[in-house]
Structure 1
């Protein structure tokens, strides 16, 4: 009986490690599926509230606790700002980054800047956005971006990929061009977008160049740029939304271009060089005349034969 009891005890002891291993495997699988870190600290609890429970408010509370406790501060501050932005608390997120980024590592500063740029866009803080973009571009020109490396690892929708200095420069210039457009500074926006296109051309930026030119009433140039998109000459031209945008802008150009001159209505040829010279002479004569009683069509008719020759 004693031996039997002892065997049962040993059997239970032997079973426990297997149960523990099974439980550990389940927990690891849970973290892999939901893409949340392991542990029981405030940052882990924040990610669990954000990703698993979908409770953004609770996540922010735990992110604050993680920052104050020094638990993965780099990630906690960035993730909290992203959640705040989703809750339309962008102003609060901006202040949080400005106040606590000094607690973050040097490696985290670039990603915090990128979050700030998105927050400035959300809040309509164009001047702040321009200033930050210029600062980031200066760091690239000085060779201080990416910690001196030619590429960096970025993440989007849970996937990692490599970004080159050239790609990052073009992206920042594109954002700067868009910020200038928000200020209706279309000349500066055009210059910046064209610099971005020289580094890393794509169809979306080409559409923005076209829009800048349209705003300056340079319709022929705009049409030429947009035609490159419609004819698939640029990377990204096959994107249906970009194609649609280019076509819509070209249609807008056609609607905005000058209507037929009055001379067309009386059958004169605008392409005729002699006609254009005659028209200039006629307009200078009419502008210098003191008498302006005659309607414009009557004055045109009196010069019709002369101009047609």
Structure 2
């Protein structure tokens, strides 16, 4: 398969991803042989075997729209010596190839102890107190990302799309009436323990797709929702709240932010529902319970 057969609007099947990886590696002077696909939701993430490098390919139009911001945030955090993943040097970043976008990163050895909620709280407090912000950092507009996903779904029924668009409007209206208690500023935007890598020298933060200027309450929401909704074996919310010094579930606006977070968790894989069919069953499970308003059903991570 050639890169020309991969449309910029989506359809990133495994064959298409392998073709893209080959072109990206050729451009960067790397060997893609034996690369391992370690994640594929909003982005496809490959770990190379021939070099300590991770290649991240944007998996949708929404992800491609954010890739320049990802690079700016990564460089800004590196300038503050913040414990994060680092962009690979010597390569122009991001790489744009026939409408597709990729970034390349130094591999972080995943050999430390599992990071928990307290570890994330430490990093968030440090992030929230940095003295400046990246150039051109956008304002937090979560509905823009969700609506973009809804504009490029694979195999989404009209009734489900209509419901999700109506939910966007309802949540957006509820958000307009919230009263925040924490000072606004730079937020990670998708702060949960899955975006921590347990390096030998301590946890490092990754995934800056959603980094923006917004309410700090949002950075405390994913772990709390994970405790309530996802079938995780460990409670990360309690130690995170204690270490950060704020329990988001006691904030009156939390039910609105919980619904927003769950809306994002339902819509995140819409652009790859057909090309990555292993996520379909879990997506349907989430969609059914979310549409029914059943807050007791537990969800599983996408595989």
Same fold (TM over 0.5): no
Which structure has greater strand proportion? 2
Higher relative contact order (CA 8 A, sep 6+): 2
Tell me the TM-score normalized by structure 1.
0.25
Tell me the TM-score normalized by structure 2.
0.26
Which structure has greater helix proportion? 1
